[in-house]
Chains A and B, each alone.
Chain A
């Protein structure tokens, strides 16, 4: 029986669900792009305010949701990311020749799914929220129905996500069969601190495959580049940030609460996946000429870095992972923000060549984009450096030196392609910059400026943000 107090704990999620319905009803009454997007923003803000007023401490809502510092932090992060993506989406959708309002319904539903994933405490709630997220993403990715690549990406994601979900489901079923438990506390008790039977191990292994799909870790990454490149840029940004972050959150919850990482074979499996993601992600990104594909591979490597925080299997590790996730969100949103800024009626500037000489035609935008690239590369003065630094520190703390060396070496490979974008922007003969949505949207200009400041702020004085992580 759910109590009123539990409803209060879940109010951020409830508000988002209600907003989704309101936006849908609004569309039924009268189609208005501006109204839909403003309503979405209002819902996200209200949900965020509820979150800020959340009581500290750890609460269980009927054993199916867990409300704690970690969950609240990630919920907040996801809401902020959705807020930014909504703002990005408005000028972007404005120039598309298609109906626009449903985009926000899908966005809200996907956000709802992600927000529920990070506070899930039970297999059922997790799988349900995962499906809410995935089903909205099918539409979200294939939204531009006049573009055949967008449709293709949507269908690809549909199949891949279905495969991933079924692996997770099957894995969970096996675990349930072995232990008879579905919520994390009962599971922890049933497993008695890490004595894993072959059946449980198989179940965990299958679920790792599913999580690997969702987070696009090597060798389950093959869908990523096509979907990033084919989907409309705001959707790509969402897939790159929110959906991966939410899957990561439950992965962390699951393996931390059942103590699975102290089991050597699981630790090694994750270490291999992390190493492969770092190397292969960076290596394939080197070969790309399309900037969205490059970002896709780069995000694979970033999730690999993130696994170092996960593998540290400690509170600092968890904090460093959450911190890195935040920085990854900001950097990725900034990168996609620029693509959206420069896209217009004729489409998005997809090729790296499209940015040739941007430093001489639009110096500020190019400076901003350079900082974003440097942040993704992890150069000091930018957010990425602090994130990697914290990851290295937490990894060093738990003695996984090998992974740290992999991080160092592979991020050096990564420097190549990030800097190549910068050096293309610096080359002396400039490409024409066609008409683009950013030119007459002050919202986009402000947002791009805000992300720029955030990237530098994180990079130079991260104390304020680190303070927020002390709650878990």
Chain B
């Protein structure tokens, strides 16, 4: 029940804020803040309750699981489940949601009610993706993320907001529809094989065959996730959307929405298509490495602060692809760590961009310089997050990238060496931010830079504590998610032995033949 409550709190909070915004325009942001804090407390409660319980073997790693009837004629139910991975991700969602709301506390120019409605429904969509265990429900939430994000970018974004919003919407929508076709493919394959038409995650596991059909079914999922992550070759919406979105939008799209794709790779692609995914391992690794290096190179060439961070995020997402396609436990732990660590550091860097923009009304780094003199505190925080982002030991990202690279090394040495090169380049572009914004010669224009306000202190301080904590105690995340990873492993092992799997390699034509014979009696 608590899982449903998490979602309802966000959705109702959003609606309530919109309705009450006509009373007082400050109400929506307070409602959002309170709703997100409530959710965070609920999730923290679950975390503490299950932290010591590393071996959840009795429940197969699942902390909570609820199922209601939804559309019986489709074989679809409202099925939410939470294991360690979803627990960590939902906690991150609410934590960064609070940061996003606080960072846009003052500069929503128009219609605050509708703005917060969009933020809350966007977060609800993301939370729903992390919790859904029914493929139709999952797709439902996956698509819910789009429209509010489109509104956030096109209404409250910067100069080029319309273009960016459209581009974002089209890319993600096409990706999502491809995934829908794959989901339906799985659904009917399962129906033909067993006679039971269902969208349930657990029942669909082990449905997909190897061979060409398995590969094409996986391709639908991969396209959707690669678009959202984003990685080569579907990344061209990223710099526009990340740059033009208002700060809360940037934070959510970079820190949370991209993680839904990473989560999807771990939760769906690997367990559903173990064989097809393995056959895609080398192309996958190459895509990942290319994204790391290309993103780093692009990042180094940017003048616009937000664009630079956007490309750095793109580069880091390459590590996630590398980790996912390395197929070993170390790398998977690294992927989860990177999802959290990158989420925190990229969110912080975008929020800093907003703090700077607030005072200077520009994102152009050529127009900045020597801000350290007037804002030493913000400069200090920037150092922390940049160090984290470039992988300094003792901060969260280092653990994550180390684990991924250690895992990738066991799988493919050459590519992991190339991926490591990305770490070196990331030092150069990250340090460039510090150099251009906070040091260097004086800015061409004289700015009056106010010191940090208490609200800004809270946001920056909170994220810093989290990043340092994770740097020193990564086990707190990895430990709670371990049973879930064991699950992924056992699923793969089980499928390898299953003799059924060898028999049931359907080709596309066979499926058609089956469908022709059964078309009168399909169970819809």
Check B169–A419 contact: CB distance below 8 A: yes
Check A466–B111 contact: CB distance below 8 A: no
Q: Residue on B with the closest CB to A467?
A: B73
Question: Given that A408-B178, A415-B170 are contacting pairs, would A398 and B110 also be in contact in the complex, using a CB cutoff of 8 Å?
Answer: no
Choice from A360, A390, A398, A408 contacting B181 with Cβ under 8 Å? A408
Number of A-B contacts defined by CB within 8 Å: 104
Q: Residue on B with the closest CB to A459?
A: B140
Q: In the complex, A405→B178 CA distance in Å?
A: 8
Name the residue in B70, B74, B146, B511 with the highest tally of chain A Cβ atoms < 10 Å from its Cβ.
Answer: B74
Check A397–B522 contact: CB distance below 8 A: yes
List of A residues within 8 angstroms of B169 by Cβ: 415, 419
User: Does any Cβ of B come within 8 Å of A287's Cβ?
Assistant: no
Check A379–B151 contact: CB distance below 8 A: no
Q: Residue on A with the closest CB to B73?
A: A466
Choice from A379, A390, A397, A415 contacting B515 with Cβ under 8 Å? A397
User: Does any Cβ of B come within 8 Å of A319's Cβ?
Assistant: yes
Question: Given that A360-B111, A463-B71, A463-B72 are contacting pairs, would A426 and B147 also be in contact in the complex, using a CB cutoff of 8 Å?
Answer: no
User: Does any Cβ of A come within 8 Å of B187's Cβ?
Assistant: yes
Distance (whole angstroms) from the CB of A401 to the closest CB of chain B: 8
Contact with A along B392-403 (1 / 0, CB 8 A): 000000000000
List of A residues within 8 angstroms of B268 by Cβ: none
Contact with B along A298-336 (1 / 0, CB 8 A): 000000000000001111110110000000000000000
User: Does any Cβ of A come within 8 Å of B361's Cβ?
Assistant: no
User: Does any Cβ of B come within 8 Å of A219's Cβ?
Assistant: no
List of B residues within 8 angstroms of A379 by Cβ: 143, 146-147
Contact with B along A376-400 (1 / 0, CB 8 A): 0001110001000110111011110
Check A408–B519 contact: CB distance below 8 A: no
Contact with A along B163-206 (1 / 0, CB 8 A): 00110011001100110110011011000000000000000000
User: Does any Cβ of B come within 8 Å of A148's Cβ?
Assistant: no
List of B residues within 8 angstroms of A397 by Cβ: 188, 515, 518-519, 522, 524
Check A396–B185 contact: CB distance below 8 A: yes
List of A residues within 8 angstroms of B144 by Cβ: 380-381
Q: Residue on A with the closest CB to B165?
A: A423
Check A398–B146 contact: CB distance below 8 A: no
Check B512–A423 contact: CB distance below 8 A: no
Check B72–A396 contact: CB distance below 8 A: no
Check A423–B154 contact: CB distance below 8 A: yes
User: Does any Cβ of B come within 8 Å of A8's Cβ?
Assistant: no
Question: Given that A360-B111, A415-B173 are contacting pairs, would A393 and B151 also be in contact in the complex, using a CB cutoff of 8 Å?
Answer: no
Choice from A320, A381, A392 contacting B180 with Cβ under 8 Å? A392
List of A residues within 8 angstroms of B162 by Cβ: 423
User: Does any Cβ of B come within 8 Å of A374's Cβ?
Assistant: yes
User: Does any Cβ of B come within 8 Å of A470's Cβ?
Assistant: yes
List of A residues within 8 angstroms of B184 by Cβ: 392-393, 396
List of A residues within 8 angstroms of B272 by Cβ: none
User: Does any Cβ of B come within 8 Å of A462's Cβ?
Assistant: yes
Contact with B along A89-129 (1 / 0, CB 8 A): 00000000000000000000000000000000000000000
Q: Residue on A with the closest CB to B117?
A: A367
Check A394–B524 contact: CB distance below 8 A: yes
Name the residue in A363, A381, A394, A399 with the highest tally of chain B Cβ atoms < 10 Å from its Cβ.
Answer: A399
Check B177–A412 contact: CB distance below 8 A: yes
Contact with B along A342-360 (1 / 0, CB 8 A): 0000000000000000011
Question: Given that A313-B519, A399-B512, A466-B71 are contacting pairs, would A392 and B524 also be in contact in the complex, using a CB cutoff of 8 Å?
Answer: no
Q: At the interface, is chain A mostly helix, strand, loop or mixed?
A: helix
Q: In the complex, A416→B177 CA distance in Å?
A: 15
Check B520–A314 contact: CB distance below 8 A: yes
Q: In the complex, A397→B70 CA distance in Å?
A: 21
Distance (whole angstroms) from the CB of B159 to the closest CB of chain A: 13
List of B residues within 8 angstroms of A392 by Cβ: 180-181, 184
Q: In the complex, A415→B518 CA distance in Å?
A: 34
User: Does any Cβ of A come within 8 Å of B155's Cβ?
Assistant: yes
Question: Given that A320-B524, A412-B174 are contacting pairs, would A399 and B516 also be in contact in the complex, using a CB cutoff of 8 Å?
Answer: yes
User: Does any Cβ of B come within 8 Å of A35's Cβ?
Assistant: no
Instruction: Tell me the chain A residues, 430-472 only, with Cβ under 8 Å from chain B.
Output: 461-463, 466-467, 470
Distance (whole angstroms) from the CB of A359 to the closest CB of chain B: 8
List of B residues within 8 angstroms of A320 by Cβ: 524
Distance (whole angstroms) from the CB of A196 to the closest CB of chain B: 19
Check A393–B73 contact: CB distance below 8 A: no
Choice from A411, A428, A463 contacting B110 with Cβ under 8 Å? A428
Check B522–A315 contact: CB distance below 8 A: yes
Distance (whole angstroms) from the CB of B502 to the closest CB of chain A: 24
Check A463–B515 contact: CB distance below 8 A: no
List of B residues within 8 angstroms of A423 by Cβ: 154, 162, 165
List of B residues within 8 angstroms of A80 by Cβ: none
Contact with B along A404-427 (1 / 0, CB 8 A): 110011011001100100010010
Distance (whole angstroms) from the CB of B511 to the closest CB of chain A: 7
Q: In the complex, A363→B113 CA distance in Å?
A: 11
User: Does any Cβ of A come within 8 Å of B355's Cβ?
Assistant: no
Check B150–A398 contact: CB distance below 8 A: no
Q: In the complex, A385→B147 CA distance in Å?
A: 13
Q: In the complex, A415→B114 CA distance in Å?
A: 22
List of B residues within 8 angstroms of A399 by Cβ: 511-512, 515-516
User: Does any Cβ of A come within 8 Å of B139's Cβ?
Assistant: yes
Check A461–B524 contact: CB distance below 8 A: no
Q: In the complex, A390→B147 CA distance in Å?
A: 22
List of B residues within 8 angstroms of A461 by Cβ: 70-71
List of B residues within 8 angstroms of A393 by Cβ: 74, 184, 187-188, 524
Name the residue in B70, B144, B151, B519 with the highest tally of chain A Cβ atoms < 10 Å from its Cβ.
Answer: B519
Check A426–B515 contact: CB distance below 8 A: no
List of A residues within 8 angstroms of B140 by Cβ: 380-381
Q: In the complex, A294→B250 CA distance in Å?
A: 33
Check B70–A385 contact: CB distance below 8 A: no
List of A residues within 8 angstroms of B146 by Cβ: 379
Q: In the complex, A46→B71 CA distance in Å?
A: 32
Distance (whole angstroms) from the CB of B76 to the closest CB of chain A: 10
Choice from B114, B139, B166, B187 contacting A380 with Cβ under 8 Å? B139
List of A residues within 8 angstroms of B519 by Cβ: 312-314, 316-317, 397-398
List of B residues within 8 angstroms of A389 by Cβ: 136, 180
Contact with A along B484-512 (1 / 0, CB 8 A): 00000000000000000000000000011
Q: Residue on A with the closest CB to B162?
A: A423
List of B residues within 8 angstroms of A314 by Cβ: 519-520, 522
Check A426–B143 contact: CB distance below 8 A: no
Distance (whole angstroms) from the CB of B71 to the closest CB of chain A: 5
Choice from B73, B150, B521 contacting A419 with Cβ under 8 Å? B150
Q: Residue on B with the closest CB to A398?
A: B519
Q: In the complex, A428→B177 CA distance in Å?
A: 31
Q: In the complex, A462→B184 CA distance in Å?
A: 18
Q: In the complex, A385→B188 CA distance in Å?
A: 19
Q: In the complex, A319→B173 CA distance in Å?
A: 26
Extra contacts, 11 of them, besides A397-B518, A408-B180 (Cβ < 8 A), are A314-B520, A363-B114, A380-B140, A393-B187, A394-B524, A397-B519, A408-B174, A412-B177, A415-B173, A461-B70, A466-B71
- Residues of chain A whose beta carbon lies under 8 Å from any beta carbon of chain B: 312-317, 319-320, 359-360, 363, 374, 379-381, 385, 389-390, 392-394, 396-399, 404-405, 408-409, 411-412, 415-416, 419, 423, 426, 428, 461-463, 466-467, 470
- Residues of chain B whose beta carbon lies under 8 Å from any beta carbon of chain A: 69-74, 110-111, 114, 136, 139-140, 143-144, 146-147, 150-151, 154-155, 162, 165-166, 169-170, 173-174, 177-178, 180-181, 184-185, 187-188, 511-512, 515-516, 518-522, 524
The contact sample of 16 A-B pairs, CB cut-off 8 A, is A313-B519, A314-B522, A315-B520, A359-B111, A393-B524, A399-B516, A408-B174, A408-B180, A415-B170, A419-B166, A461-B70, A461-B71, A463-B70, A463-B71, A463-B73, A466-B74
Closest 9 A-B residue pairs measured CB to CB? A316-B524, A380-B143, A399-B512, A314-B519, A408-B177, A399-B515, A396-B184, A397-B522, A466-B73
